[in-house]
Amino acid sequence: MSAIDTLFEQLKKSSRKAFMPFITAGDPDLDFTAEVIRRLDAAGSSMCEVGIPYSDPIADGPVIQASYTRSLDQKIKLAGILDTIGQVSPKVATPLVTMVSYSIVYRHGLEQYVADAKAAGAAGAIVPDLPVEEAGPLADICRKEDFSLIQLITPTTPKDRAKQIAAQTSGFIYYVSVTGITGARTELPPEIIDNVAWLREQTPLPICIGFGISRPEHIKMLSPVADGLIVGSAIVRLIAKTAEMSREEVLAEIDQYVAELLAAM
């Protein structure tokens, strides 16, 4: 079992849902990334997704794209990110998961990426641009290493294809709540509930919902049907305030925002 499997088993026993923030590694620098992970852990997050900056992201909206650009402008490299994960992972209870483009994994080498990420303390990887037709080799390596390979299912994914994706996924299913790109939204489509209910009949994996979740009312709406809720752009937007505010002020805002969301779960 991976650390993610263990996490969801524990959450299920205590009838709790996972709160899963996303941050971009290296925005504004890796020291601050490590500090944010520690604060999110202390605030009560269940898991933290660490985005590996990529110059051509597939589904990320303007907030996360801008954070990737800021990180890449600092010449942040994969080795430095894994080193940071390696430094912070032993100090937090929160499993860490990389959000990474398959092109980065492929260039690094499938087995090498899994080995290096696991050695750093990462529990799995979300690979949003990995087609199910090409997922077999990486899925096999991840299963052998108890390293979760998390893949995305969207509202427009055909049902047969959704079943194929679920079969190649481990850890949890990342269900995309809306069509389009990441980014905080004022409202979420009501059909999410029916779509997740259907998906739950197809797989024993936990189902976590992401994209667009930013408000306590979103948490209240989705908590009854989800095993976990992913919040990304809203937190990344707060981190961007380090350009105009002190880091301690930004961390305090993150603490307050996470507390408001957790109170709604």
Q: What is the mean pLDDT of residues 11-34?
A: 96
Average pLDDT over the chain reads 92
Q: Which two tokens stand for residue 245?
A: 């505010």
Read off the pTM.
Answer: 0.92
Which pLDDT score is estimated for 189? Answer: 62
Percent of the chain whose predicted confidence (pLDDT) is above 70 = 94
Which pLDDT score is estimated for 179? Answer: 54
Please provide residue 20's backbone torsions phi and psi, each rounded to the nearest 5 degrees.
-130, 90
Task: Give the pLDDT confidence of 96-110 residue by residue, as tens digits.
Answer: 999 999 999 999 999
pLDDT at residue 227 above 60?
yes
pLDDT at residue 261 above 60?
yes
Concerning whether 194 is annotated as a catalytic residue, the answer is: no
pLDDT at residue 12 above 80?
yes
Task: Give the pLDDT confidence of 26-58 residue by residue, as tens digits.
Answer: 999 999 999 999 999 999 999 999 999 998 766
Tell me the sheet residues that pair with 99: 51, 126
Which pLDDT score is estimated for 22? Answer: 96
State the total domains in the chain: 1
Which pLDDT score is estimated for 62? Answer: 84
Measured CA to CA in angstroms, residue 105 lies from 100, 120, 192 at distances of 7, 15, 31
Q: Which one is catalytic: 29, 60, 116, 227?
A: 60
Task: Give the pLDDT confidence of 188-211 residue by residue, as tens digits.
Answer: 566 888 889 899 999 999 999 998
Question: What residue has token string 């899994």?
Answer: 114
Q: Which one is catalytic: 5, 27, 41, 49?
A: 49
Nearest to 99 by CA among 133, 123, 74: 123
Q: What is the mean pLDDT of residues 246-260?
A: 97
Helix and strand numbers, DSSP H then E, in the chain = 12, 9
- For the purposes of burial, counting CB atoms within 10 Å of the CB of 203, is it exposed (0-12), middle (13-18) or buried (19 or more)? middle
Q: What is the mean pLDDT of residues 215-230?
A: 92
Range of the domain at 257: 3-263
Instruction: Give the integer Cα–Cα distance in Å for 104 and 93.
Output: 27
Which pLDDT score is estimated for 177? Answer: 79
Which pLDDT score is estimated for 59? Answer: 60
**Distance of alpha carbon 241 from its chain centroid, rounded?**
21
Given pLDDT bands bounded at 50, 70 and 90, which one contains residue 60?
low
Side chain identity, residue 63: V
Concerning whether 49 is annotated as a catalytic residue, the answer is: yes
Buried-exposed string 34-49: b where 16+ CB fall within 10 A, e elsewhere: bbbbbbbbebebbbbb
136: domain CATH number is 3.20.20.70
Task: Give the pLDDT confidence of 139-182 residue by residue, as tens digits.
Answer: 999 999 999 999 999 988 999 999 999 999 999 999 997 654 44
Are 168 and 141 contacting, i.e. CB atoms less than 8 angstroms apart? Answer: no
Measured CA to CA in angstroms, residue 139 lies from 29, 151, 156 at distances of 31, 10, 23
Which pLDDT score is estimated for 87? Answer: 98
Nearest to 94 by CA among 62, 126, 122, 129: 122
